[in-house]
Chains A and B, each alone.
Chain A
Amino acid sequence: MSSTPSSAGIGSKRLVVGAHYGVGNFLLQRLTAVVLTVFTLYLALRLVFGSALGYDGWAGMFVPLPMKIVTLVALLALFYHAWIGVRDIWMDYVKPTWVRLSLQTLTVLWLLFCAVWSVQILWRV
């Protein structure tokens, strides 16, 4: 009792490890899943009930700024969703720490690359 000093944020109750760190990711995995489901349904409905496609119809969908932003948000949700999922796969199957950390680092860098690429693709239309 008396041997545990506790000052601001440091002390025996400070959480440095443990499953709680996963709760945020768990929730974000679900949240991004919902965003992606809604976006997929929206896009599917527009494609099925929209007028004939071809380049003008398809690219025209992504010209208005709100659609660019919504699409980018969906893609960012996709990349974050992919990060959590792929990280889980590395954690389940890759045991040597340095291999796992390297794969996780490459995954993050690759997804960041994809995110920047997506901005470029969308804002060129």
Chain B
Amino acid sequence: MTNPVAKSRPEFRNIHVSQLFQYKLPPPGLVSIMHRISGAALFLLLPFILWLFELSLTSEISYARLVEVASNALVKLVLVGLAWAYLHHLIAGVRYLMLDLHIGLDKPVARTSALAVYWISLPLTLIAALKIFGVF
């Protein structure tokens, strides 16, 4: 037998946090991680969302309080963020349901549909932002 000295073999580790920004994700990968980030954000802001929902329904006084809270610029920014998170999560989610049904599995089609998620969710977010900031 040859002596059992360990040969140096290539090691493949998971990507390290410090490498994240040098790593270029293809569009489907970006949709995927954004789906997770938007979902996590929606979960973390669930108490805020339910609180706003409560204010909007309980009484005319609480509704007036909601209008007052939502007039704060910082709150408006959070609302725009929530609108983006919801729209991205929803539209990327519909794409995943299509993929589950084996629609658009080919690589070029999957790439196009990933880009379409942005082409739909970002303009809708812009509309929501304009509405939130009272442009119309």
B106 at the interface (CB under 8 A from A): no
Q: Is the CB of A37 within 8 A of B57?
A: no
Closest Cβ neighbor of B100 among chain A residues: A30
- B54 nearest in chain A by CB position: A121
| Count of B interface residues, CB-CB < 8 Å | 20
Interface residues of A in 63-114 (CB under 8 A from B): 82, 85-86, 89, 110, 114
Chain A's closest residue to B55 (CB) is A121
- One of A82, A121, A124, A125 near B46 (C-beta < 8 A): A82
| A118 smallest CB distance to B (angstroms) | 7
Min CB gap B79→A, angstroms: 15
Give the residues in chain B near A122, CB-CB below 8 Å.
Answer: 57
When chains A and B are docked, how far (Å) is the Cα of A121 from the Cα of B57? 7
Contacts of A125 in B (CB 8 A): 57-58
Does the CB pair B94–A37 fall under 8 Å?
yes
Taking the complex as formed, is B40 at the interface, i.e. its CB lies under 8 A from any CB of chain A?
yes
**Is the C-beta of A117 less than 8 angstroms from some C-beta in chain B?**
yes
A82 to B57, CA, bound (A): 23
Pairwise interchain contact B93-A33, C-beta atoms closer than 8 A: yes
Interface string of B98-131 (1 = CB under 8 A from A): 0010000000000000000000000000000000
Given A55-B63, A89-B40, CB of A114 within 8 Å of CB of B56:
no
Determine how close the nearest CB of chain A comes to the CB of B86; give it in whole angstroms: 8
Q: Which residue numbers of B lie inside 8 Å of A, CB to CB?
A: 36, 39-40, 42-43, 46-47, 50, 53-54, 56-58, 60, 63, 90, 93-94, 97, 100
